[in-house]
Amino acid sequence: MTTKAAQFLADSDSKAFDLEHRRKIRFNIGKYNAAVQTGLGWYHDHELARERASYLKAKVINRLDEYLLEFERNFTARGGKVIWARDAQEALAEIGKIMQRKHARTVVKAKSMTTEEIHLNDYLGKNGIDSIETDLGEFIVQLNGERPYHIVTPAMHLSKQDIAAIFVKHLGIEHTDDAQKLVLTARHLLRGKYTAAEVGITGGNFLLADIGAVAVTENEGNARLSATFPKTHIAIVGIEKLLPSIHDLDLFWPLLSTSGTGQQVTVYNTIYTGPRQPLEKDGPDEMYVVLLDNGRTNLLAQPEQREALQCIRCGACLNVCPVYKNIGGHTYETTYSGPIGSVISPHLSGLAENKHLSYASSLCGACTSVCPVKINIHNLLLKNRQQAVREGFTDKEERRAVALWLYGMKHRWVWDMAPVAGKNWVLSRLLGEVGWNKRRDALQTAPKSFRQLWKARGN
Protein backbone atom coordinates (compact mmCIF):
# COMPACT_ATOMS: atom_id res chain seq x y z
CA MET A 1 0.00 0.00 0.00
CA THR A 2 1.32 3.43 -0.96
CA THR A 3 1.73 5.72 2.04
CA LYS A 4 0.52 9.31 1.99
CA ALA A 5 4.12 10.48 2.12
CA ALA A 6 5.13 8.35 -0.87
CA GLN A 7 2.09 9.53 -2.84
CA PHE A 8 2.87 13.14 -1.96
CA LEU A 9 6.43 12.79 -3.25
CA ALA A 10 5.27 11.10 -6.45
CA ASP A 11 2.59 13.72 -7.12
CA SER A 12 4.96 16.57 -6.27
CA ASP A 13 7.54 15.21 -8.67
CA SER A 14 4.94 14.98 -11.42
CA LYS A 15 3.56 18.49 -10.89
CA ALA A 16 6.96 20.15 -10.45
CA PHE A 17 8.01 18.97 -13.92
CA ASP A 18 4.66 19.71 -15.56
CA LEU A 19 5.61 22.99 -17.21
CA GLU A 20 2.07 23.79 -18.34
CA HIS A 21 0.75 23.36 -14.80
CA ARG A 22 3.47 25.61 -13.44
CA ARG A 23 2.76 28.22 -16.11
CA LYS A 24 -0.94 28.37 -15.18
CA ILE A 25 -0.47 28.56 -11.43
CA ARG A 26 2.33 31.13 -11.64
CA PHE A 27 0.28 33.27 -14.01
CA ASN A 28 -2.78 33.18 -11.74
CA ILE A 29 -0.79 33.71 -8.54
CA GLY A 30 1.09 36.53 -10.25
CA LYS A 31 -2.19 38.34 -10.89
CA TYR A 32 -3.16 37.96 -7.25
CA ASN A 33 0.20 39.16 -6.01
CA ALA A 34 -0.06 42.29 -8.15
CA ALA A 35 -3.55 42.98 -6.81
CA VAL A 36 -2.41 42.46 -3.21
CA GLN A 37 0.44 44.94 -3.61
CA THR A 38 -2.09 47.50 -4.82
CA GLY A 39 -4.41 46.69 -1.94
CA LEU A 40 -1.67 47.14 0.64
CA GLY A 41 -1.23 50.68 -0.62
CA TRP A 42 -4.61 51.60 0.87
CA TYR A 43 -3.29 50.98 4.37
CA HIS A 44 -1.78 53.82 6.36
CA ASP A 45 -0.10 51.32 8.69
CA HIS A 46 -0.59 47.71 7.63
CA GLU A 47 1.88 46.43 10.23
CA LEU A 48 -0.18 47.98 13.02
CA ALA A 49 -3.32 46.31 11.64
CA ARG A 50 -1.50 42.95 11.65
CA GLU A 51 -0.37 43.50 15.25
CA ARG A 52 -3.91 44.28 16.42
CA ALA A 53 -5.37 41.32 14.56
CA SER A 54 -2.75 39.00 15.98
CA TYR A 55 -3.46 40.22 19.50
CA LEU A 56 -7.23 39.75 19.15
CA LYS A 57 -6.98 36.26 17.67
CA ALA A 58 -4.49 35.18 20.34
CA LYS A 59 -6.87 36.51 22.98
CA VAL A 60 -9.72 34.44 21.51
CA ILE A 61 -7.72 31.23 21.21
CA ASN A 62 -6.54 31.47 24.81
CA ARG A 63 -10.12 32.01 26.04
CA LEU A 64 -11.86 29.90 23.41
CA ASP A 65 -14.24 28.14 25.80
CA GLU A 66 -15.61 31.44 27.14
CA TYR A 67 -16.19 32.95 23.71
CA LEU A 68 -17.84 29.79 22.35
CA LEU A 69 -20.35 29.75 25.20
CA GLU A 70 -21.00 33.48 24.74
CA PHE A 71 -21.65 32.90 21.04
CA GLU A 72 -24.04 30.02 21.74
CA ARG A 73 -25.95 32.01 24.36
CA ASN A 74 -26.47 35.01 22.08
CA PHE A 75 -27.21 33.00 18.93
CA THR A 76 -29.83 30.79 20.57
CA ALA A 77 -31.50 33.84 22.13
CA ARG A 78 -32.69 34.79 18.63
CA GLY A 79 -33.98 31.34 17.81
CA GLY A 80 -30.85 29.86 16.29
CA LYS A 81 -29.74 26.32 17.08
CA VAL A 82 -26.18 25.25 17.83
CA ILE A 83 -24.76 21.79 17.18
CA TRP A 84 -21.45 20.86 18.80
CA ALA A 85 -19.58 18.34 16.65
CA ARG A 86 -16.48 16.64 18.03
CA ASP A 87 -15.52 15.17 14.67
CA ALA A 88 -16.64 14.76 11.06
CA GLN A 89 -18.81 11.74 11.88
CA GLU A 90 -20.82 13.62 14.49
CA ALA A 91 -21.23 16.61 12.18
CA LEU A 92 -22.45 14.41 9.31
CA ALA A 93 -24.83 12.48 11.55
CA GLU A 94 -26.45 15.67 12.86
CA ILE A 95 -26.70 17.20 9.39
CA GLY A 96 -28.21 13.94 8.16
CA LYS A 97 -30.94 14.18 10.81
CA ILE A 98 -31.80 17.70 9.65
CA MET A 99 -32.00 16.49 6.04
CA GLN A 100 -34.37 13.69 7.06
CA ARG A 101 -36.64 16.03 9.00
CA LYS A 102 -36.78 18.44 6.06
CA HIS A 103 -37.19 15.65 3.47
CA ALA A 104 -34.35 17.34 1.62
CA ARG A 105 -33.50 16.26 -1.90
CA THR A 106 -31.48 19.29 -3.01
CA VAL A 107 -28.88 21.32 -1.14
CA VAL A 108 -27.14 24.49 -2.31
CA LYS A 109 -23.72 25.19 -0.82
CA ALA A 110 -21.43 28.21 -0.69
CA LYS A 111 -18.31 29.52 1.04
CA SER A 112 -17.39 26.46 3.06
CA MET A 113 -14.04 24.70 3.30
CA THR A 114 -15.33 22.90 6.40
CA THR A 115 -17.76 20.92 4.23
CA GLU A 116 -14.78 19.75 2.21
CA GLU A 117 -13.05 18.86 5.47
CA ILE A 118 -15.88 16.53 6.56
CA HIS A 119 -16.57 15.27 2.99
CA LEU A 120 -20.18 16.44 3.11
CA ASN A 121 -20.86 16.12 -0.62
CA ASP A 122 -19.96 12.43 -0.58
CA TYR A 123 -22.17 11.84 2.46
CA LEU A 124 -25.15 13.63 0.94
CA GLY A 125 -24.70 11.84 -2.38
CA LYS A 126 -24.76 8.44 -0.66
CA ASN A 127 -28.03 9.45 0.96
CA GLY A 128 -29.67 10.44 -2.32
CA ILE A 129 -29.34 14.19 -1.84
CA ASP A 130 -28.10 16.39 -4.67
CA SER A 131 -25.50 18.83 -3.30
CA ILE A 132 -24.66 21.72 -5.61
CA GLU A 133 -21.67 24.02 -5.20
CA THR A 134 -22.74 27.55 -6.11
CA ASP A 135 -19.43 29.45 -5.92
CA LEU A 136 -18.16 29.55 -9.49
CA GLY A 137 -14.75 28.05 -8.74
CA GLU A 138 -16.23 25.29 -6.57
CA PHE A 139 -18.91 24.67 -9.20
CA ILE A 140 -16.25 24.19 -11.88
CA VAL A 141 -14.13 21.73 -9.89
CA GLN A 142 -17.24 19.85 -8.78
CA LEU A 143 -18.28 19.45 -12.43
CA ASN A 144 -14.82 18.10 -13.20
CA GLY A 145 -14.84 15.69 -10.25
CA GLU A 146 -11.95 17.44 -8.47
CA ARG A 147 -11.24 18.83 -5.05
CA PRO A 148 -10.65 22.56 -4.55
CA TYR A 149 -7.11 23.49 -5.52
CA HIS A 150 -6.72 26.61 -3.37
CA ILE A 151 -8.58 27.74 -0.24
CA VAL A 152 -9.59 31.05 -1.84
CA THR A 153 -9.49 30.24 -5.56
CA PRO A 154 -10.63 26.62 -5.99
CA ALA A 155 -10.05 26.54 -9.76
CA MET A 156 -6.72 28.39 -9.81
CA HIS A 157 -5.06 25.54 -11.72
CA LEU A 158 -7.43 25.87 -14.67
CA SER A 159 -7.15 28.23 -17.62
CA LYS A 160 -10.11 29.78 -19.42
CA GLN A 161 -9.69 27.16 -22.14
CA ASP A 162 -9.75 24.36 -19.54
CA ILE A 163 -12.98 25.72 -18.05
CA ALA A 164 -14.59 26.02 -21.48
CA ALA A 165 -13.72 22.38 -22.18
CA ILE A 166 -15.26 21.32 -18.84
CA PHE A 167 -18.49 23.17 -19.64
CA VAL A 168 -18.65 21.64 -23.11
CA LYS A 169 -18.09 18.14 -21.70
CA HIS A 170 -20.45 18.28 -18.72
CA LEU A 171 -23.05 20.89 -19.67
CA GLY A 172 -23.20 20.30 -23.42
CA ILE A 173 -22.79 23.95 -24.42
CA GLU A 174 -21.09 25.13 -27.58
CA HIS A 175 -17.39 25.88 -27.16
CA THR A 176 -16.63 29.51 -26.36
CA ASP A 177 -13.61 31.49 -25.21
CA ASP A 178 -15.83 34.28 -23.90
CA ALA A 179 -15.48 34.35 -20.09
CA GLN A 180 -18.74 36.30 -19.74
CA LYS A 181 -20.67 33.61 -21.58
CA LEU A 182 -19.16 30.92 -19.38
CA VAL A 183 -20.14 32.83 -16.24
CA LEU A 184 -23.67 33.40 -17.53
CA THR A 185 -24.01 29.70 -18.31
CA ALA A 186 -23.26 28.86 -14.69
CA ARG A 187 -25.52 31.64 -13.42
CA HIS A 188 -28.54 30.50 -15.47
CA LEU A 189 -28.05 26.91 -14.35
CA LEU A 190 -27.74 27.81 -10.67
CA ARG A 191 -30.60 30.31 -10.39
CA GLY A 192 -33.25 27.62 -10.36
CA LYS A 193 -31.33 25.57 -7.84
CA TYR A 194 -31.63 28.22 -5.12
CA THR A 195 -35.43 28.28 -5.22
CA ALA A 196 -35.72 24.48 -5.46
CA ALA A 197 -33.36 23.59 -2.61
CA GLU A 198 -34.81 22.67 0.77
CA VAL A 199 -31.56 23.41 2.61
CA GLY A 200 -28.78 25.94 2.12
CA ILE A 201 -25.33 25.35 3.58
CA THR A 202 -22.58 27.90 4.07
CA GLY A 203 -19.43 28.21 6.08
CA GLY A 204 -18.47 31.28 8.03
CA ASN A 205 -15.45 33.56 7.91
CA PHE A 206 -16.02 34.71 11.48
CA LEU A 207 -18.26 33.96 14.46
CA LEU A 208 -19.19 37.06 16.45
CA ALA A 209 -19.46 36.24 20.14
CA ASP A 210 -21.09 39.44 21.41
CA ILE A 211 -24.15 39.28 19.13
CA GLY A 212 -24.17 35.55 18.33
CA ALA A 213 -23.75 35.82 14.56
CA VAL A 214 -21.99 34.31 11.56
CA ALA A 215 -20.11 36.75 9.30
CA VAL A 216 -19.56 35.80 5.67
CA THR A 217 -17.54 37.73 3.10
CA GLU A 218 -17.78 36.93 -0.64
CA ASN A 219 -17.61 38.39 -4.13
CA GLU A 220 -20.38 36.56 -5.96
CA GLY A 221 -23.43 36.75 -3.66
CA ASN A 222 -23.98 33.00 -3.79
CA ALA A 223 -23.76 32.59 -0.03
CA ARG A 224 -26.54 35.15 0.39
CA LEU A 225 -28.74 33.28 -2.07
CA SER A 226 -27.93 29.93 -0.45
CA ALA A 227 -28.77 31.27 2.99
CA THR A 228 -31.90 33.22 2.02
CA PHE A 229 -34.00 31.17 -0.41
CA PRO A 230 -34.04 27.73 1.30
CA LYS A 231 -36.20 27.44 4.40
CA THR A 232 -33.29 25.97 6.37
CA HIS A 233 -29.80 27.43 6.63
CA ILE A 234 -26.90 25.44 8.10
CA ALA A 235 -23.58 27.17 8.73
CA ILE A 236 -20.66 24.80 9.38
CA VAL A 237 -17.84 26.68 11.09
CA GLY A 238 -14.62 25.68 12.83
CA ILE A 239 -14.58 26.53 16.54
CA GLU A 240 -11.52 28.75 16.09
CA LYS A 241 -13.29 31.30 13.85
CA LEU A 242 -14.46 33.48 16.73
CA LEU A 243 -14.07 37.23 17.13
CA PRO A 244 -15.02 38.93 20.40
CA SER A 245 -17.23 41.60 18.85
CA ILE A 246 -19.01 42.79 15.72
CA HIS A 247 -16.84 45.91 16.01
CA ASP A 248 -13.76 43.80 15.20
CA LEU A 249 -14.99 43.31 11.64
CA ASP A 250 -13.75 46.75 10.60
CA LEU A 251 -10.26 45.36 11.20
CA PHE A 252 -10.64 41.78 10.00
CA TRP A 253 -12.79 42.13 6.88
CA PRO A 254 -10.35 44.50 5.12
CA LEU A 255 -7.35 42.44 6.29
CA LEU A 256 -8.89 39.26 4.90
CA SER A 257 -9.84 40.93 1.61
CA THR A 258 -6.51 42.64 1.07
CA SER A 259 -4.44 39.54 1.83
CA GLY A 260 -6.73 37.23 -0.13
CA THR A 261 -7.65 39.19 -3.26
CA GLY A 262 -6.12 42.66 -2.98
CA GLN A 263 -9.51 44.32 -2.48
CA GLN A 264 -10.22 46.97 0.13
CA VAL A 265 -13.23 44.89 1.05
CA THR A 266 -15.11 42.17 -0.82
CA VAL A 267 -18.37 42.88 -2.65
CA TYR A 268 -20.83 41.14 -0.32
CA ASN A 269 -20.39 41.19 3.45
CA THR A 270 -23.22 39.64 5.45
CA ILE A 271 -23.95 39.01 9.12
CA TYR A 272 -26.39 36.17 9.87
CA THR A 273 -27.91 36.42 13.34
CA GLY A 274 -30.36 33.52 13.16
CA PRO A 275 -33.63 32.57 11.49
CA ARG A 276 -36.09 35.08 10.10
CA GLN A 277 -37.68 37.17 12.84
CA PRO A 278 -41.44 37.97 12.97
CA LEU A 279 -41.21 41.34 11.17
CA GLU A 280 -38.52 40.32 8.66
CA LYS A 281 -39.53 39.65 5.06
CA ASP A 282 -36.88 37.15 4.02
CA GLY A 283 -34.49 34.59 5.43
CA PRO A 284 -34.75 30.96 6.54
CA ASP A 285 -37.34 29.58 8.94
CA GLU A 286 -34.55 27.73 10.78
CA MET A 287 -30.85 28.35 11.14
CA TYR A 288 -28.28 25.96 12.58
CA VAL A 289 -24.62 26.57 13.34
CA VAL A 290 -22.46 23.46 13.48
CA LEU A 291 -19.44 24.22 15.66
CA LEU A 292 -16.82 21.85 14.31
CA ASP A 293 -13.90 20.60 16.40
CA ASN A 294 -12.55 17.76 14.25
CA GLY A 295 -9.05 17.88 15.72
CA ARG A 296 -8.85 21.57 16.51
CA THR A 297 -8.69 20.91 20.26
CA ASN A 298 -5.73 18.62 19.55
CA LEU A 299 -3.94 21.67 18.20
CA LEU A 300 -5.26 23.82 21.03
CA ALA A 301 -3.63 21.41 23.48
CA GLN A 302 -0.20 22.12 21.93
CA PRO A 303 0.98 25.34 23.62
CA GLU A 304 3.77 25.88 21.11
CA GLN A 305 1.59 25.29 18.04
CA ARG A 306 -1.89 26.52 18.96
CA GLU A 307 -1.01 29.84 17.35
CA ALA A 308 -1.96 28.20 14.02
CA LEU A 309 -5.64 28.40 15.08
CA GLN A 310 -5.45 32.17 14.55
CA CYS A 311 -5.55 31.59 10.76
CA ILE A 312 -8.31 33.51 8.92
CA ARG A 313 -7.94 31.48 5.67
CA CYS A 314 -6.83 34.32 3.40
CA GLY A 315 -4.53 32.14 1.28
CA ALA A 316 -1.66 34.63 1.31
CA CYS A 317 0.86 32.05 2.52
CA LEU A 318 -0.05 29.72 -0.36
CA ASN A 319 0.46 32.44 -2.94
CA VAL A 320 3.94 33.36 -1.70
CA CYS A 321 5.21 29.84 -0.96
CA PRO A 322 7.90 28.62 -3.42
CA VAL A 323 6.93 25.00 -2.73
CA TYR A 324 3.22 25.54 -3.35
CA LYS A 325 3.93 27.49 -6.54
CA ASN A 326 5.79 24.47 -7.92
CA ILE A 327 3.68 21.51 -6.75
CA GLY A 328 0.20 23.06 -6.49
CA GLY A 329 -2.70 22.31 -4.16
CA HIS A 330 -3.85 18.84 -5.16
CA THR A 331 -0.57 17.15 -4.21
CA TYR A 332 -1.23 17.73 -0.51
CA GLU A 333 -4.29 15.43 -0.51
CA THR A 334 -5.73 17.50 2.34
CA THR A 335 -8.46 20.10 2.64
CA TYR A 336 -6.00 22.81 3.64
CA SER A 337 -2.86 22.96 1.52
CA GLY A 338 0.24 25.12 1.41
CA PRO A 339 2.18 26.31 4.47
CA ILE A 340 -0.76 26.73 6.87
CA GLY A 341 -2.23 23.43 5.72
CA SER A 342 1.10 21.76 6.41
CA VAL A 343 0.95 23.13 9.95
CA ILE A 344 -2.65 22.28 10.86
CA SER A 345 -3.40 19.12 8.85
CA PRO A 346 -1.12 16.84 10.92
CA HIS A 347 -3.04 17.90 14.04
CA LEU A 348 -6.49 17.70 12.43
CA SER A 349 -5.95 14.40 10.62
CA GLY A 350 -3.16 12.67 12.54
CA LEU A 351 0.55 13.38 12.83
CA ALA A 352 1.65 9.84 11.98
CA GLU A 353 0.12 9.91 8.49
CA ASN A 354 0.62 13.59 7.73
CA LYS A 355 3.97 14.50 9.28
CA HIS A 356 5.54 14.63 5.82
CA LEU A 357 3.62 17.83 5.05
CA SER A 358 5.64 19.77 7.61
CA TYR A 359 8.80 18.85 5.70
CA ALA A 360 7.42 20.32 2.46
CA SER A 361 8.98 23.69 3.19
CA SER A 362 12.30 25.43 2.78
CA LEU A 363 11.62 27.35 6.04
CA CYS A 364 12.35 30.54 4.09
CA GLY A 365 9.82 32.48 6.19
CA ALA A 366 7.95 34.07 3.27
CA CYS A 367 4.67 32.66 4.62
CA THR A 368 5.22 34.29 7.99
CA SER A 369 6.07 37.65 6.42
CA VAL A 370 2.70 37.92 4.61
CA CYS A 371 0.36 36.43 7.24
CA PRO A 372 -2.19 39.14 8.17
CA VAL A 373 -2.45 37.82 11.75
CA LYS A 374 1.31 37.31 12.11
CA ILE A 375 1.32 33.54 12.61
CA ASN A 376 4.93 32.36 12.83
CA ILE A 377 4.21 29.67 10.23
CA HIS A 378 7.73 28.55 9.36
CA ASN A 379 8.57 28.14 13.03
CA LEU A 380 5.42 26.06 13.57
CA LEU A 381 6.48 23.79 10.70
CA LEU A 382 9.75 23.26 12.52
CA LYS A 383 7.86 22.54 15.76
CA ASN A 384 5.79 19.92 13.94
CA ARG A 385 8.98 18.26 12.72
CA GLN A 386 10.37 18.20 16.24
CA GLN A 387 7.15 16.69 17.54
CA ALA A 388 7.19 14.00 14.87
CA VAL A 389 10.72 13.02 15.87
CA ARG A 390 9.92 13.19 19.58
CA GLU A 391 6.89 10.92 19.18
CA GLY A 392 8.82 8.39 17.11
CA PHE A 393 7.13 8.86 13.73
CA THR A 394 10.36 8.92 11.73
CA ASP A 395 11.63 5.92 9.73
CA LYS A 396 14.05 3.48 11.36
CA GLU A 397 16.69 3.96 8.66
CA GLU A 398 16.49 7.73 9.03
CA ARG A 399 16.87 7.50 12.81
CA ARG A 400 19.81 5.12 12.42
CA ALA A 401 21.59 7.37 9.93
CA VAL A 402 21.04 10.51 12.01
CA ALA A 403 22.20 8.75 15.18
CA LEU A 404 25.37 7.63 13.41
CA TRP A 405 26.02 11.14 12.09
CA LEU A 406 25.37 12.66 15.52
CA TYR A 407 27.76 10.27 17.21
CA GLY A 408 30.41 11.06 14.61
CA MET A 409 30.00 14.79 15.13
CA LYS A 410 30.30 14.43 18.91
CA HIS A 411 33.23 12.01 18.63
CA ARG A 412 35.39 13.39 15.86
CA TRP A 413 37.93 10.55 16.11
CA VAL A 414 35.28 8.07 14.89
CA TRP A 415 34.69 10.11 11.72
CA ASP A 416 38.43 10.52 11.13
CA MET A 417 39.11 6.82 11.54
CA ALA A 418 36.19 5.65 9.42
CA PRO A 419 37.10 4.48 5.90
CA VAL A 420 36.12 6.73 2.99
CA ALA A 421 33.60 4.14 1.79
CA GLY A 422 31.89 4.20 5.17
CA LYS A 423 31.68 7.98 5.17
CA ASN A 424 30.21 7.96 1.69
CA TRP A 425 27.57 5.44 2.79
CA VAL A 426 26.50 7.67 5.69
CA LEU A 427 26.30 10.71 3.40
CA SER A 428 24.30 8.73 0.87
CA ARG A 429 21.79 7.57 3.50
CA LEU A 430 21.40 11.02 5.04
CA LEU A 431 21.03 12.90 1.77
CA GLY A 432 18.89 10.17 0.27
CA GLU A 433 16.33 10.75 3.02
CA VAL A 434 15.83 14.32 1.87
CA GLY A 435 15.89 13.48 -1.84
CA TRP A 436 19.27 15.08 -2.55
CA ASN A 437 20.61 12.22 -4.65
CA LYS A 438 17.54 11.88 -6.87
CA ARG A 439 18.48 14.67 -9.26
CA ARG A 440 22.02 15.52 -8.16
CA ASP A 441 25.33 13.73 -8.21
CA ALA A 442 25.99 11.97 -4.94
CA LEU A 443 28.37 13.80 -2.63
CA GLN A 444 31.68 12.10 -2.01
CA THR A 445 33.91 12.44 1.04
CA ALA A 446 37.38 13.84 0.27
CA PRO A 447 40.15 11.18 0.40
CA LYS A 448 41.87 13.11 3.19
CA SER A 449 40.33 15.11 6.01
CA PHE A 450 41.16 18.74 6.71
CA ARG A 451 43.18 17.64 9.74
CA GLN A 452 45.24 15.27 7.60
CA LEU A 453 45.86 17.93 4.95
CA TRP A 454 46.82 20.45 7.62
CA LYS A 455 49.23 18.01 9.20
CA ALA A 456 50.76 17.18 5.81
CA ARG A 457 51.65 20.88 5.38
CA GLY A 458 53.71 20.68 8.52
CA ASN A 459 51.53 23.04 10.55
How many domains is the chain built from? Answer: 2
Same domain, 284 and 419: no
Stated as kind and residue range, the H or E segment containing 105 is: none
200: helix, strand or coil: strand
In a domain, 323, yes or no: no
CA distance 280 to 449: 83
- Nearby residues of 141 by Cβ (< 8 Å), 6 or more positions away: 133, 147, 148, 149, 154, 155, 158
In a domain, 343, yes or no: no
Q: Are 360 and 377 in contact (CB under 8 A)?
A: no
Q: SS3 for 365-407, per residue?
A: CHHHHHCCCCCCHHHHHHHHHHHHHHCCCCCHHHHHHHHHHHH
For residue 361, give Cα distances in angstroms to 8, 304, 329, 372, 429.
13, 19, 14, 20, 21
Q: Using one digit for the tens of pLDDT, what is the confidence trace for 268-327?
A: 999 999 999 998 888 999 999 999 999 999 999 999 999 999 999 999 999 999 999 999
Is residue 414 pLDDT above 90, yes or no?
Answer: no
CA distance 111 to 134: 9
In a domain, 376, yes or no: no
In a domain, 306, yes or no: no
Same domain, 287 and 404: no
In a domain, 234, yes or no: yes
Is residue 250 pLDDT above 80, yes or no?
Answer: yes
Q: Using one digit for the tens of pLDDT, what is the confidence trace for 200-221?
A: 999 999 999 999 999 999 999 9
Gyration radius of the chain over CA positions: 25
**Domain final residue, candidates 294, 325, 340:** 294
What's the predicted TM-score (pTM) here? 0.90
In a domain, 330, yes or no: no
In a domain, 72, yes or no: yes
Same domain, 101 and 223: yes
**Domain final residue, candidates 277, 294, 311:** 294
CA distance 257 to 81: 29
- Nearby residues of 100 by Cβ (< 8 Å), 6 or more positions away: none
Q: DSSP secondary-structure letter at 310?
A: G
Same domain, 286 and 429: no
User: In which domain, by residue range, is 425 found?
Assistant: 396-456
**Domain final residue, candidates 294, 312, 330:** 294
